[in-house]
């Protein structure tokens, strides 16, 4: 009989919903659920939480996760996720606590440490090409550095019998690739197979984005997407099938699959992950049943010698204020408001790193590249990044003072938050020391 591994997607970002993921787990259709919890900025924000409280910095959904997935784990289901974020040890504590509170025993928890390379990045004064500086030149601002790590430690822990595996900045596709490789008995240096496993992983890693969520565009692409299903991959020696739970909305069709295939890849002949250099150039997508597609034709070459590192950089404070204008002349009044605020902020420009003025409905998304007609209402958006909180408060105050003119401004809102930027760097693979730990609960 043909060996098949069935793996479900459970999360695509740090606050993704868990209810629909639980539906998939409870369906009994999959043996594995993998959860990507980290977007580019999530790690840096998690480090900020950890700096404030050393028991924080992990995924904040773990208590809910454990309540929802206790049944699945009791039935022997396996879970892999980068729930650790900036604090894998604290995440492991939360997982153990959740297992106990749900009376689940006999679960071996695998923990992956070592993606945190902050000391190394500073010691080696790594280049930060997108910012045009080295880490050392902005050392006081560098708050975090995490390497995207691959499938090796996950496979190792599965081999040791771990049922729940977590780590920090495990790369999104590696969370899926590892169980596929382990179950299929594919060696991690079988590059052609790694290309296939990367393809399956890539089609799962964005959760409900891949099952129609980011596809609907009436009247050309209509789908019900109220209650989406998370995607499932069924992988055999010969093919990858992508599908979803029966009875859920959304779709798995040629269009949803092709757009997910090319999502966030650059050269389709060289999709770089910690596990392979995958080649999707000749991948084909074929519908073989309702919400069921077959993808074939991925290949791969050896994995890169370097790992990508995301370096978190403290950039002061970010403030965003909005105010609406409507009716005749609204555009003129919004533009006048822009000029007034710019003048009032002139005395503070030394402490304002960047400020921009956009008009929702006119220039906010495309900066005027897509001209429209005269709007009946506009919303002025003033966004600034400031050296310190005091200056950000000034920007907020001066923006809010538009209450007092030009005429008819209403609906003021303000958001204020620390500005944590992330920027990429590269690090030799051997400089990232991965350590695994097993906890029997």
Other beta carbons less than 10 A from residue 365's beta carbon: 10
> Which residue has 């060696």 as its token pair?
187
Name the segment binding another protein (CB under 8 A); options: 34-42, 74-82, 102-110, 236-244.
Answer: 34-42
Is there binding between residue 267 and another protein (CB under 8 A)? yes
Is there binding between residue 263 and another protein (CB under 8 A)? yes
Cα–Cα distance for residue pair 94/438, rounded to 1 Å: 15
| Of 101 and 281, CB closest to another protein | 281
Q: Give the nearest distance from C-beta 368 to another protein in angstroms.
A: 8
Q: Mask 116-135, x = binds another protein (CB under 8 A)?
A: --------------x-----
CA distances from 303 to 145, 203, 257, 375 (A): 21, 19, 24, 51
Q: What length is written for the chain?
A: 441
Is there binding between residue 215 and another protein (CB under 8 A)? yes
Are 128 and 311 within 8 A, CB to CB?
Answer: yes
> Which residue has 């299929």 as its token pair?
184
Name the segment binding another protein (CB under 8 A); options: 160-168, 234-242, 329-337, 350-358.
Answer: 350-358
Is there binding between residue 364 and another protein (CB under 8 A)? yes
Helix 172-184 vs helix 191-204: crossing angle, to nearest 10? 130
Name the segment binding another protein (CB under 8 A); options: 50-58, 133-141, 171-179, 356-364.
Answer: 356-364
The token pair at 93 is 């504590």
Is there binding between residue 300 and another protein (CB under 8 A)? no
Cα–Cα distance for residue pair 56/131, rounded to 1 Å: 29
Cα–Cα distance for residue pair 434/281, rounded to 1 Å: 32
Is there binding between residue 238 and another protein (CB under 8 A)? no
Are 378 and 334 within 8 A, CB to CB?
Answer: yes
Question: Which of 51, 365, 374, 435 touches another protein (CB under 8 A)?
Answer: 365
Scanning residues 369 to 428, which ones bind another protein (CB under 8 A)?
369-370, 381, 383-385, 419-424
Is there binding between residue 13 and another protein (CB under 8 A)? no
Q: Give the nearest distance from C-beta 155 to another protein in angstroms.
A: 26
Question: Which of 3, 75, 100, 221 touches another protein (CB under 8 A)?
Answer: 221
Question: Which of 56, 89, 152, 255 touches another protein (CB under 8 A)?
Answer: 255
Closest CA to 341 of 402, 393, 409: 402
DSSP 4: -
The token pair at 394 is 């000034």
Radius of gyration of the chain (CA): 24
Q: Give the nearest distance from C-beta 130 to another protein in angstroms.
A: 5
Q: What is the largest CA-CA distance in the chain?
A: 76
Footprint on this chain of another protein (rule: CB under 8 A): 39-41, 44, 130, 214-215, 217, 220-221, 255, 258-269, 280-285, 297, 313, 315, 318, 320, 354-356, 358, 360, 364-367, 369-370, 381, 383-385, 419-424
């Amino acid at each position: 009989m043909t060996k098949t591994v069935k793996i479900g997607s459970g999360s695509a970002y740090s606050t993704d919903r868990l209810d629909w993921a639980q539906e998939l787990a409870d369906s009994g259709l999959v043996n594995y659920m993998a959860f990507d919890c980290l977007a580019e900025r999530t790690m840096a924000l998690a480090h900020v939480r950890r700096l404030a409280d050393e028991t924080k910095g992990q995924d904040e959904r773990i208590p809910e996760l454990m309540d929802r997935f206790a049944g699945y784990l009791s039935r022997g289901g396996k879970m892999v996720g980068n729930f650790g974020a900036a604090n894998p040890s604290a995440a492991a504590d939360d997982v153990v606590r959740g297992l106990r509170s749900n009376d689940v025993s006999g679960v071996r928890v695998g923990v992956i440490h070592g993606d945190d390379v902050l000391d190394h990045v500073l010691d080696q004064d790594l280049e930060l090409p997108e910012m045009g500086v080295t880490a050392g030149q902005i050392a006081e601002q560098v708050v975090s550095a995490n390497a995207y790590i691959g499938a090796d430690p996950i496979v190792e822990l599965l081999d040791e019998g771990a049922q729940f595996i977590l780590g920090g900045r495990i790369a999104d596709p590696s969370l899926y690739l590892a169980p596929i490789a382990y179950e299929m008995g594919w060696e991690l240096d079988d590059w052609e197979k790694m290309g296939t496993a990367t393809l399956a992983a890539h089609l799962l890693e964005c959760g409900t984005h891949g099952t129609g969520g980011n596809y609907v565009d009436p009247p050309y692409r209509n789908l019900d997407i109220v209650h989406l299903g998370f995607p499932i991959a069924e992988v055999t020696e010969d093919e990858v099938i992508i599908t979803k739970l029966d009875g859920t909305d959304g779709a798995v069709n040629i269009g949803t699959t092709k757009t997910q295939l090319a999502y966030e890849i650059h050269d389709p002949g060289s999709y770089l992950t910690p596990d392979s250099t995958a080649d999707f150039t000749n991948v084909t997508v074929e519908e073989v049943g309702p919400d069921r597609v077959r993808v074939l034709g991925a290949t791969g070459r050896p994995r890169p010698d370097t790992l990508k590192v995301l370096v978190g950089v403290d950039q002061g404070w970010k403030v965003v204020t909005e105010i609406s204008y409507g009716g005749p002349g609204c555009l003129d009044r919004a533009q006048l408001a822009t000029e007034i605020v710019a003048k009032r902020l002139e005395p503070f420009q030394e402490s304002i790193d960047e400020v921009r003025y956009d008009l929702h409905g006119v220039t906010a998304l495309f900066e005027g590249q897509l001209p429209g007609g005269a709007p009946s209402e506009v919303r002025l958006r003033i966004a600034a990044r400031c050296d310190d909180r005091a200056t950000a408060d000034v920007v907020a105050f001066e923006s809010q003072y538009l209450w007092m003119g030009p005429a008819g401004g209403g609906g003021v809102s303000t958001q204020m938050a620390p500005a944590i930027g992330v920027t990429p760097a590269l690090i030799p693979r051997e400089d990232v020391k991965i350590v695994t730990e097993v906890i029997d609960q």
